[in-house]
Amino acid sequence: MKLITISGPPSSGKTAVLSNVIKSLKAFGLHAGAVKYDCLATEDDAVFRALGIPVQTGLSGNLCPDHYFVSNIEECLKWGFSLNLDVLVSESAGLCNRCSPHIKGVLAVCVIDNLMGVATPKKIGPMLKFADIVVITKGDIVSQAEREVFAFQVRRANAKAKIMHVNGITGQGASELTSLFLNAPDTPKLDGEILRFSMPAALCSYCLGETRIGMEHQLGNIKRIKLKQEQL
């Protein structure tokens, strides 16, 4: 079974792109399944289910969804094997821009859209910088020039990824993306595999439920803002 991790900022088009890919996987006679990791709520499971594939949803609540992902992906992989899936896609909402679900040896995809502005690629951390494929969506509503400038910025943030333009609505580019999914390596197990980039240490008192503000309530891994001298 091929496991594929899909990350990307909220509403960038991850589900829309995956829906089109899943349709063409089905046309090849392959069995796909999906797992969605999100924070509070998601309706993506309904979208995947409407395509007739099995789905699991994991809600991380007050944890970072990517931290939650690492602790649970092995379980989901086993679930995929139990259903004899050919391809298991794991979609996670990249909420904190610093974590990423990408694992060494597992095909890693990051989905971003043209509307986010040219500064976005540099603001997105490891989920973009360590992806094998960067999918850019919503090219149908911006100008050719903006697409070119945006892709150039993506290249600057990740020199090695394959950069693809896919339209989440019409599916243009999705069969091409599918052909890359078909070449993904198999993932027989995850035990012992490693993340491409460490997740930040989220262990301060606020991680543990503290709500009061003030020095005396801050414990653990605390980092101070560096205030610079500024002229009035």
Partner 1 sequence: MMTILEKQIEVLKSEVPQVTDFFSDYGIILDDGGFTLGEYLEQLPEDFYEDIGIDQVTLLENLDGFLNQLNLLQNTEAPKVSEITIIGGHDKTGNPEHVELKLIRGSVTSIVGPTGSGKSRLLADIEWMAQNDTPTGRIIRVNGKKPDPELRFSLEYKLVAQLSQNMNFVMDTKVAEFIAMHAESRMIENAEAIVVDIIAQANLLAGESFTGQTPVTALSGGQSRALMIADTAFLSTSPVVLIDEIENAGIDRKKALSLLVKKEKIVLMATHDPILALMAEQRLIIKNGGIHKIITTTAKEKENLARLEELDNKLMSLRTRLRSGELIEES
Ligand X SMILES: Nc1nc2c(ncn2[C@@H]2O[C@H](COP(=O)(O)OP(=O)(O)OP(=O)(O)O)[C@@H](O)[C@H]2O)c(=O)[nH]1
| Rounded-to-integer distance, Cα 121 and Cα 127, Å | 10
Closest CA to 15 of 87, 74, 82, 93: 93
By beta-carbon proximity to ligand X, the closer residue of 73 and 109 is 109
| Rounded-to-integer distance, Cα 20 and Cα 179, Å | 12
| Rounded-to-integer distance, Cα 30 and Cα 1, Å | 11
Q: Which of 2, 102, 129, 138 binds ligand X (CB under 6 A)?
A: 138
Could you give the maximum distance between any two Cα atoms of the chain, in Å? 67
Q: Which of 140, 176, 186, 210 binds ligand X (CB under 6 A)?
A: 140
Name the minimum Å distance from CB 16 to partner 1. 16
Q: Which of 4, 16, 34, 64 binds Zn ion (CB under 5 A)?
A: 64
Residue 15 touches ligand X, criterion: CB under 6 A: yes
Residue 11 touches ligand X, criterion: CB under 6 A: yes
Q: Segment near partner 1 (CB under 8 A), from 37-45, 51-59, 175-183, 224-232?
A: 175-183
| Rounded-to-integer distance, Cα 212 and Cα 226, Å | 22
Residue 142 touches ligand X, criterion: CB under 6 A: no
By beta-carbon proximity to Zn ion, the closer residue of 4 and 64 is 64
Residue 152 touches partner 1, criterion: CB under 8 A: yes
Q: Which of 40, 46, 149, 208 binds partner 1 (CB under 8 A)?
A: 149
Q: How far is CA 167 from CA 1, 21, 31, 111, 136, in A?
A: 26, 11, 23, 11, 8
Binding mask 189-208 for Zn ion (x = CB under 5 A): -------------x-x-xx-
By beta-carbon proximity to partner 1, the closer residue of 33 and 168 is 168
Closest CA to 90 of 185, 4, 179, 195: 4
| Rounded-to-integer distance, Cα 152 and Cα 23, Å | 30
| Rounded-to-integer distance, Cα 19 and Cα 25, Å | 10
Q: Yes or no: say if 135 and 109 are a contact pair by the CB < 8 Å rule.
A: yes
Query: In the complex, which residues of this chain contact partner 1 (CB under 8 A)?
Result: 98, 114-115, 117-118, 122, 125-126, 129-130, 139-146, 148-149, 151-153, 155-160, 162-164, 170, 172-173, 175-176, 179, 197-198, 200
Task: Give the footprint of Zn ion on this chain (CB under 5 A).
Answer: 64, 66, 96, 99, 202, 204, 206-207
Q: Provide the binding-site residues for ligand X, judged by CB under 6 A.
A: 8, 10-16, 44, 93, 137-138, 140-141, 167-169
